Structure 1
Amino acid sequence: MSKPSGNASARPVALVTGPTSGLGAGFAEKFASLGYDLVLVARDEQKMCALAEDMKELFDTDCEILRSDLSTASGREEVALRLGKGVDVLVNNAGFATSGEFWTVEPELLQAQLDVNVTAVMQLTRAALPAMISSANGTIINVASVAGLLSGRGPTYSASKAFVISFSEGLSGGLEGTGVRIQALCPGFIRTELHQRAGIDMSSIPKPMWLSVDEVVAASLADLETGKVISVPGIQYKVLTTLGRLVPKSLVRRVNNVFGRGRART
């Protein structure tokens, strides 16, 4: 998919945050299957080691493990230092939602959510770009959400993902001609552990609205090849986001409250 960017390995390297489940694991496996070595970043070292063993067995992939908490300055700094040494792909996938109304959630948890969903994306992207631009090669995938395009699924979560979209789109203009690609990936509902960990009831979501991890990863990589900066996997979500720009926002909020569990989420 891309050539090495001057790193020590003879193989290209992809750094993936939040790779122990769901979409992060999907990206890690996909890049491993394409011949990349991996840098895995998460808090759960045991799960990362298990993933590393699987990737070695399946694809002869070497995995570097960074046990880091991206909600902390020290954790983000550790990953930024690694990115400064050069990688070919950065997947800013780590992120989380929380349950409960905004005014009932502990301020510390809200801040941690923004530090992971927003601050980490900004700081890790900044850390990765100099080496990528110097080698005229690189790819950054910033995992956002349809929630960033259709607000109402939770105020801080939607706002954090809207930042990721605007940030990526803004950077794309400056990166034109550098050999570095950037994408804001905006999936809808994916069958992962995200909602379960947050304690959010998703039973009201119609079956046709669910996407698989493989579908989202494939759509992301296909859109990268065609130069799409904002990637919205699934025809159903392409239609929804297009309609969302055309219909009154008050109607979008009402639909979110009925089908998307817009209340009791942050």
Structure 2
Amino acid sequence: MSKIALITGASSGIGRALARYHASLGGDVIITARRGEALDALKSELEAAHKVTVTVIPLDLGAAGGAAKLYEAVKATGIRVDYLINNAGFGGHGAFLDRDLTDDLNMIRLNVEALVSLCHLFGKDMVAAGGGKILNVSSTAAHMPGPLQATYFATKAYVSSFSQALAEELKGQGVTVTALEPGYVVTEFAAVADLEGTKLIAQKGATAEAAAKVGYDAMIAGKLTVINDKPLAFMLGWIMPFMPHRMRLNMVRKMQEK
């Protein structure tokens, strides 16, 4: 029997690539995002190419109560989720005090609150069923504060910390939790976050497909965390921790400046 994956933010980028990869391995998938037309197109593509079953749930996960609505919609289908892949999220460029506070609070609601809620809701079901896997898409931003993206970096620090703690709590109960921490990936994320013109995206980024495969394979292996870029992983693990805090903050800020 194929494993069924629920993937949030599946209409584009890493989420769409994760859906394609899972389907290519013969797995059925539930895909959700706000853009119903994009989800329908992906459903047609995956079902034709891989003969899998794709269930579409168009929904604004970042709206108040969005996670509970998604959970109820999935339960209504009668489908048991084997893999929960929390990919939905967004960023936003600019000095914190110059940004609209509502935008940052909405970012926290989607990047953190919705993810935590889905882990709680589906995690309980997985434990009761005796097994399951959770993949939370974080970022290398989790490893440092992010001037000019202060809220986004902080949400990813939360995601990585939370994922590792939850993994330890669920150890021995058949459920693993993995945090994918990609570096810059070429998706529409940069345009939505208003990062065009920064040094961050001037570098050559990974493809969504490559990042998705690294994260998915790490989830299957039950790893705690994974970074898709080995040189970046070395820098984050062996260089940045020894840099003075002010130097590190200044370096990150320069990457975000236009």
Shift of 1:109: 1.2
CA distance, structure 2, for counterparts of residue 69 and residue 181 of structure 1: 26
Checking the alignment, whether the CA contact within 8 Å between 2:133 and 2:220 is kept in structure 1 is no
Letter aligned with residue 57 of structure 1: A
Checking the alignment, whether the CA contact within 8 Å between 1:136 and 1:178 is kept in structure 2 is yes
Matched, 1:44 2:35: yes
CA distance, structure 1, for counterparts of residue 66 and residue 115 of structure 2: 13
Matched, 1:67 2:67: no
Matched, 1:194 2:185: no
Indicate which of 106, 121, 144 corresponds to 1:127: 121
Q: What RMSD in Å do the two structures reach over aligned CA positions? A: 1.9
Q: What are the superposed Cα offsets for residues 53-105 of structure 1, whole Å, 9 maximum, x if unpaired?
A: 00011111211111111121232211122455630111100000113321122
Inter-CA distance 23–137: structure 2 relative to 1 (3 Å threshold) = same
Letter aligned with residue 250 of structure 2: R
Q: What are the superposed Cα offsets for residues 7-30 of structure 1, whole Å, 9 maximum, x if unpaired?
A: xxx532111000111100110001
CA distance, structure 1, for counterparts of residue 43 and residue 71 of structure 2: 21
Shift of 1:224: 3.1
Matched, 1:110 2:104: yes
Residue equivalent to 1:247: 243
TM-score under structure 1 length normalisation: 0.89
Shift of 1:225: 4.5
Q: Secondary structure at the match of 2:57?
A: strand
Checking the alignment, whether the CA contact within 8 Å between 1:83 and 1:128 is kept in structure 2 is no
Matched, 1:145 2:139: yes
Letter aligned with residue 3 of structure 2: P
Matched, 1:90 2:84: yes
CA distance, structure 1, for counterparts of residue 188 and residue 115 of structure 2: 21
- Percent identity of equivalent pairs: 26
Inter-CA distance 257–211: structure 2 relative to 1 (3 Å threshold) = same
CA distance, structure 2, for counterparts of residue 27 and residue 199 of structure 1: 24
Letter aligned with residue 103 of structure 1: L
Residue equivalent to 2:253: 257
Checking the alignment, whether the CA contact within 8 Å between 2:195 and 2:201 is kept in structure 1 is no
Residue equivalent to 1:27: 18
Shift of 1:246: 2.2
Q: What are the superposed Cα offsets for residues 212-243 of structure 1, whole Å, 9 maximum, x if unpaired?
A: 22221222233334432011111122112112
TM-score under structure 2 length normalisation: 0.91
Checking the alignment, whether the CA contact within 8 Å between 1:188 and 1:209 is kept in structure 2 is no
CA distance, structure 2, for counterparts of residue 218 and residue 75 of structure 1: 27
Checking the alignment, whether the CA contact within 8 Å between 1:80 and 1:123 is kept in structure 2 is no
Letter aligned with residue 200 of structure 1: L
Give structure 1 stretches of 5+ with no counterpart. Answer: 1-9
Q: Tell me whether 247-256 or 176-185 shows the greater mean CA deviation.
A: 247-256
Letter aligned with residue 257 of structure 1: R
Letter aligned with residue 117 of structure 1: N
CA distance, structure 1, for counterparts of residue 97 and residue 198 of structure 2: 24
Matched, 1:227 2:225: no
Q: Tell me whether 68-77 or 42-51 shows the greater mean CA deviation.
A: 68-77
Q: Secondary structure at the match of 1:73?
A: coil
CA distance, structure 1, for counterparts of residue 247 and residue 74 of structure 2: 43
Letter aligned with residue 220 of structure 1: G
CA distance, structure 2, for counterparts of residue 203 and residue 107 of structure 1: 22
Indicate which of 154, 161, 170 corresponds to 1:166: 161
Shift of 1:122: 0.2
Matched, 1:15 2:15: no
Give structure 2 stretches of 5+ with no counterpart. Answer: none
